[in-house]
């Protein structure tokens, strides 16, 4: 049931324009089908004031005081039920006149086009928390704005999801001037309280006076308080953004604590439940915090239980670690009696020096042989040629060489060739012999290159031996550190690997 009201306020220059809907407010919801507003002016303000001043002068014998003139006309807003109209209001004022005097209606209007929207038990007042722009409705994302502008309404909503709640009420310009006495009807505070009760009972509305305050609130004050309450309720509701932040923090904690899939599944189930409540506007920030706190407590209990189980499983591992530590110490003692790496390196270096000396020796001998062979061949050939040219062959080889030259001349040289042509042919033969010697020289160079490659391979082997030495030392250090730690693995594989490296 709606609460009865009789909120009196002073009139202003815009009162009649508003009541008659000459000035159309932006916050109207529009009329329901089959309904209409009502407006009628019984007498104008100026004419009524003139009549009152004349009646007062006639009755009292003096002019009405300025203060009384200023307070002659007031406006009141009266809450109505949907089925009530101007007839009910006129009957109400007649009763008030009989009870308290005055209460003369000058102008009356009944409005059926004002109210607010409701969604999820939250009230949205036009131009304050919801606004229509180009046939679309928008609400505020920032509820702290007291006097929002058009651009502040930035979240588009589907108005079909909202319910219209109409505020049926009447505006009455009235005066407490009593035409029977030609004076202002005076009302004490107790009379004002009684008037509210009379209005509520007459219109069948709820009578609930504020016992903690004597200040009577206007309709706009009540609307503002309701609007502020709705804003506060919206602020207290949890949002998806807040939920996402909470879930992000909880997932980080799960990862930090090496949570199981079961823990993640429970968290995702909670996330879905909370999302549904937020969608239904049924989850406050406090409820969200309590839910995440309960989950944290449950998670903490699981982690405590898991840690205790790990502690129980740790003892056998510690015993095993002790055995492994003893084995490592035994291995270290055995390694202490093995040949030192310095000794192995010295032997290798000596062997390499011997190989290099042998290579250089072979290389030098080969080069000397090549040079000597070429020189001897050149001397022999030129000696034979010289002997042939001089015609003084001193040995069988020279004679044979001469025969060869003669044969070549008889076979390949024309009869009219001169002596110099014969010499030219001999030089050609000598050149061919030189070519053969060059081929032999190239073969020797190939042999030398193979020897150099062998030397490089020996150097690579030297580097490998040096690397094996360093690797063996690193393996030893790693084993030592590994089996000193709290959680160690079995050293069996490491021991076998180290032993194989020693054999190599």
Residue 43 in contact with residue 105, Cβ under 8 Å?
no
Does residue 84 carry a pLDDT above 90?
Answer: yes
Q: Which helix (H) or strand (E) holds 158?
A: none
Rounded to an integer, what distance in angstroms lies between the CA atom of residue 184 and that of residue 101? 9
Average pLDDT over residues 81-110: 94
Residue 175: helix, strand or coil by DSSP?
Answer: strand
Longest dimension (CA), the chain: 186
If DSSP states are collapsed to H, E and C, what string results for 102-141?
A: CCEEEEEEEECCCEEEEECCEEECECCCEEEECCEEEEEC
Does residue 132 carry a pLDDT above 60?
Answer: yes
Confidence of residue 111 (pLDDT cuts 50, 70, 90): very high
**pLDDT for 468:** 66
Rounded to an integer, what distance in angstroms lies between the CA atom of residue 305 and that of residue 81? 64
Distance of alpha carbon 390 from its chain centroid, rounded?
106
What is the tens place of the pLDDT at every residue in 184-217?
Answer: 888 888 888 899 999 999 999 988 765 443 334 4
Rounded to an integer, what distance in angstroms lies between the CA atom of residue 389 and that of residue 392? 8
| 483 vs 25 pLDDT, higher one | 25
**pLDDT for 459:** 77
**pLDDT for 228:** 54
What is the tens place of the pLDDT at every residue in 415-436?
Answer: 444 555 555 666 677 667 767 7
Neighbouring C-beta atoms of residue 216, cutoff 10 Å: 16
Residue 184: closest CA among 98, 56, 305: 56
Which residues, including other chains, have CB under 8 Å from residue 297's CB and lie 6 or more apart?
Answer: none
Question: Cα dist. 262→203, 256, 330, 389, 504 in Å?
Answer: 63, 15, 45, 111, 51
Rounded to an integer, what distance in angstroms lies between the CA atom of residue 441 and that of residue 451? 15
Q: Is 370 exposed, middle or buried (0-12, 13-18, 19+ CB in 10 A)?
A: middle
Residue 239 in contact with residue 30, Cβ under 8 Å?
no
**pLDDT for 60:** 82
Residue 219 in contact with residue 5, Cβ under 8 Å?
yes
Residue 153: helix, strand or coil by DSSP?
Answer: strand
Which residues, including other chains, have CB under 8 Å from residue 40's CB and lie 6 or more apart?
Answer: 86, 107, 108, 109
Average pLDDT over residues 387-398: 53
In what side-by-side order are the strands of the sheet with 153-157? 130-133, 136-140, 153-157
Residue 102 in contact with residue 178, Cβ under 8 Å?
yes
**pLDDT for 212:** 43
Continuous H helices in 257-284: 261-279
Rounded to an integer, what distance in angstroms lies between the CA atom of residue 230 and that of residue 125? 10
Rounded to an integer, what distance in angstroms lies between the CA atom of residue 205 and that of residue 79? 8
Rounded to an integer, what distance in angstroms lies between the CA atom of residue 82 and that of residue 325? 92
Residue 282 in contact with residue 236, Cβ under 8 Å?
no
Rounded to an integer, what distance in angstroms lies between the CA atom of residue 130 and that of residue 128? 6
Rounded to an integer, what distance in angstroms lies between the CA atom of residue 46 and that of residue 35? 32
Backbone angles phi, psi at 155, to 5 degrees: -115, 110
Average pLDDT over residues 33-49: 93
What is the pLDDT of the chain when averaged over all its residues? 76
What is the tens place of the pLDDT at every residue in 280-324?
Answer: 777 777 777 777 767 766 766 666 666 667 777 777 777 777 777
188 phi-psi bin (left φ>0, alpha ψ -120 to 50, beta other) = beta
If DSSP states are collapsed to H, E and C, what string results for 363-392?
A: HHHHHHHHHHHHHHHHHHHHHHHHHHHHCC
**pLDDT for 187:** 84
Average pLDDT over residues 258-266: 81
87-101, 116-130, 241-255, 332-346: least confidently modelled range: 332-346
Q: Which helix (H) or strand (E) holds 155?
A: strand 153-157
| 146 vs 402 pLDDT, higher one | 146
| 177 vs 333 pLDDT, higher one | 177
Residue 233 in contact with residue 111, Cβ under 8 Å?
no
Output the CA angle 224-225-231, nearest 5 degrees: 85
Rounded to an integer, what distance in angstroms lies between the CA atom of residue 324 and that of residue 466? 30
**pLDDT for 404:** 60
Backbone angles phi, psi at 143, to 5 degrees: -80, -5
For the CA atoms of the chain, what is the radius of gyration? 60
Confidence of residue 445 (pLDDT cuts 50, 70, 90): confident
Question: Cα dist. 426→160, 375, 384, 387, 459 in Å?
Answer: 120, 19, 10, 12, 50
């Amino acid at each position: 049931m709606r609460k009865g009201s009789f909120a009196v306020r002073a009139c202003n220059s815009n009162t009649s324009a508003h009541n008659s809907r000459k000035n159309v407010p932006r916050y109207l919801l529009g009329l329901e089908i089959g309904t209409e507003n009502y407006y009628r002016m019984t007498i104008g303000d100026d004419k009524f004031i003139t009549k009152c001043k004349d009646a007062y002068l006639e009755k009292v014998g003096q002019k009405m005081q300025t203060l009384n003139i200023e307070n002659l006309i007031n406006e009141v807003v009266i809450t109505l039920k949907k089925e009530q109209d101007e007839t009910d209001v006129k009957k109400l004022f007649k009763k008030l006149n009989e009870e308290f005097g005055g209460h003369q209606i000058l102008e009356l209007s009944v409005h059926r086009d004002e109210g607010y929207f409701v969604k999820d038990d939250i009230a949205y007042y036009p131009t304050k928390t919801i606004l229509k722009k180009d046939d679309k409705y928008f609400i505020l994302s920032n509820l702290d704005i007291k006097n929002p502008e058009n651009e502040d309404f930035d979240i588009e909503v589907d108005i079909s999801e909202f319910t219209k709640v109409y505020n049926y009420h009447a505006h009455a310009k009235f005066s407490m001037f009593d035409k029977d006495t030609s004076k202002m009807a005076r009302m004490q505070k107790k009379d004002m309280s009684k008037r509210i009760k009379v209005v509520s009972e007459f219109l069948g509305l709820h009578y609930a006076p504020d016992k903690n305050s004597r200040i009577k609130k206007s309709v706009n004050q009540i609307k503002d308080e309701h609007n502020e309450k709705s804003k506060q309720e919206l602020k207290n509701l949890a949002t998806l953004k807040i939920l996402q932040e909470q879930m992000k923090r909880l997932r980080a904690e799960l990862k930090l604590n090496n949570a199981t899939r079961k823990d993640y599944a429970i968290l995702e189930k909670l996330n879905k439940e909370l999302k549904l409540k937020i969608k239904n506007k049924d989850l406050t920030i406090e409820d969200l915090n309590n839910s995440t706190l309960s989950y944290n407590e449950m998670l903490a209990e699981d982690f405590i239980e898991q840690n205790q189980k790990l502690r129980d499983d740790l003892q056998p591992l510690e015993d095993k670690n002790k055995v492994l530590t003893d084995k490592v110490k035994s291995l270290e003692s055995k390694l202490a009696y093995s040949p030192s790496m310095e000794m192995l390196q010295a032997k290798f270096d000596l062997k390499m020096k011997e190989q290099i000396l042998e290579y250089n020796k072979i290389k030098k001998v080969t080069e000397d042989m090549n040079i000597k062979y070429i020189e001897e061949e050149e001397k022999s050939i030129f000696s034979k040629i010289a002997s042939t040219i001089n015609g003084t062959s001193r040995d069988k080889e020279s004679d044979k060489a001469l025969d060869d030259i003669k044969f070549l001349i008889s076979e390949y040289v024309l009869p009219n060739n001169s002596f110099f042509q014969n010499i030219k042919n001999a030089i050609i033969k000598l050149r061919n012999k030189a070519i053969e010697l060059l081929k032999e020289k190239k073969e020797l160079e190939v042999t030398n290159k193979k020897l150099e490659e062998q030397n490089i391979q020996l150097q690579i082997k030297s580097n490998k031996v040096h690397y094996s030495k360093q690797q063996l030392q690193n393996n030893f250090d790693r084993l030592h550190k590994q089996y000193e730690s709290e959680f160690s693995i079995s050293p069996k594989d490491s021991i076998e690997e180290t032993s194989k490296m020693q054999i190599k």
